[in-house]
């Protein structure tokens, strides 16, 4: 399909972060605009903390329609917006901003993007499943929020600092799903009991590709091993899990679908997810 011609009607979108030059979002989102024929262009803005307020003023002044937000701005940007979606408020982080005629609304598409990917690629039905989540940071929070909507039997949160796991579990307590917190000394036991084990930490990310949060033999055969990391596409954790007879689920789908949901919030059109995946895969393999 012919690429978009930038003209006086082109709408601006972008991603902010510090750092941001490594981001694959621009190639993915510009492919989405080309596929759908939307006259938009998406670029990366390297915004440091002291410039964040000025950038948000610029979004209003320039009519930038949509912004993705990455580390370290996901929390602080919330105080600069006009409205926070319920999901983003509960998670405590925003990764997508929609500029609705000068009114800035914050969303979080990480968790819903992850669950959509998990269901499509590895576990179509999450109801009644025992899930172990490794890590208790911002990524874990978004994922647990989205998983709670799928009626799992229970979620165990395991973290090196057990207080962080307890804090995360208590923030979602009171619903129908049982949430437990544990320290790493129970990791082997909880992985062996789980139907799905999710790594939300950075252990195994490029360049430390030999590292794994848990050995594959700790998982029960037939379980799903899921990793949020997508560089490398198959981590040491997933290789070990596959050797154990588990289903491996990498992090690329989460990245694609968090972007797809953002695209849909901004444009009101269905995102061309297959084309977006193709573009990111080509870049990762280049």
Binding-site positions for shikimate: 23-25, 70, 95, 110, 230, 258
* Helix, strand, or coil (residue 131): strand
Q: Which residues are annotated as a binding site for NADP(+)?
A: 86, 135-139, 159-164, 228, 251
For residue 107, list its beta bridge partners: 96
- The catalytic residue among 5, 74, 220, 239 is 74
Q: For residue 11, list its beta bridge partners.
A: 40
Residue 188: DSSP 8-state: H
Which residues, at least 6 apart from 162, have a Cβ–Cβ distance to it below 8 Å?
A: 181, 182, 183
Q: d(Cα 58, Cα 53) in Å, to the nearest integer?
A: 9
Are residues 216 and 240 in contact, defined by beta-carbon separation less than 8 angstroms?
Answer: yes
Would residue 128 be called left, alpha or beta, if left means φ above 0 and alpha means ψ between -120 and 50 degrees?
left
DSSP 71: T
Judge whether 74 counts as a catalytic residue.
yes
Sheet holding 66-69, edge to edge: 40-46, 11-17, 66-69, 96-100, 103-107, 83-84
- Residue set of the binding site: 23-25, 70, 86, 95, 110, 135-139, 159-164, 228, 230, 251, 258
Environment class of residue 1 by beta-carbon count within 10 Å: exposed (0-12), middle (13-18) or buried (19+)? exposed
Residues forming the active site: 74
């Amino acid at each position: 399909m012919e690429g978009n011609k930038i003209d006086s009607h082109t709408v601006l979108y972008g991603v902010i972060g510090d750092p941001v030059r490594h981001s694959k979002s621009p190639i993915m989102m510009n492919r989405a605009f080309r596929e759908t024929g939307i006259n938009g262009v998406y670029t990366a803005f390297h915004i440091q903390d002291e410039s964040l307020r000025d950038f948000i003023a610029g979004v209003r002044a320039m009519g930038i329609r949509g912004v993705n937000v990455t580390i370290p701005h996901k929390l602080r940007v919330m105080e600069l917006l006009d409205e926070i979606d319920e999901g983003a408020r509960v998670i405590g982080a925003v990764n997508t901003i929609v500029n609705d005629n000068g009114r800035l609304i914050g969303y979080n598409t990480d968790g819903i993007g992850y669950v959509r990917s998990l269901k499509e690629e590895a576990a179509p039905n999450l109801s009644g499943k025992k899930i172990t989540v490794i890590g208790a940071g911002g990524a874990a929070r978004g994922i647990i929020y989205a998983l709670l909507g799928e009626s799992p039997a229970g979620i165990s949160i395991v973290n090196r600092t057990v207080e962080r796991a307890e804090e995360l579990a208590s923030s979602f307590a009171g619903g129908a799903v049982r949430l437990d917190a544990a320290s790493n000394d129970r990791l082997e036991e909880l992985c062996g009991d789980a139907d799905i084990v999710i790594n939300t930490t950075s252990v195994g990310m490029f360049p430390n590709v030999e590292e794994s949060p848990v050995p594959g033999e700790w998982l029960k055969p037939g379980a799903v091993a899921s990793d949020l990391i997508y560089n490398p596409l198959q981590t040491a954790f997933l290789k070990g899990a596959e050797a154990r007879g588990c289903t491996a689920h990498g992090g690329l789908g989460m990245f694609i679908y968090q972007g797809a949901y953002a695209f849909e919030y901004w444009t009101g059109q269905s995102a061309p997810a297959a084309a977006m995946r193709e573009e990111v895969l080509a870049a990762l393999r280049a």
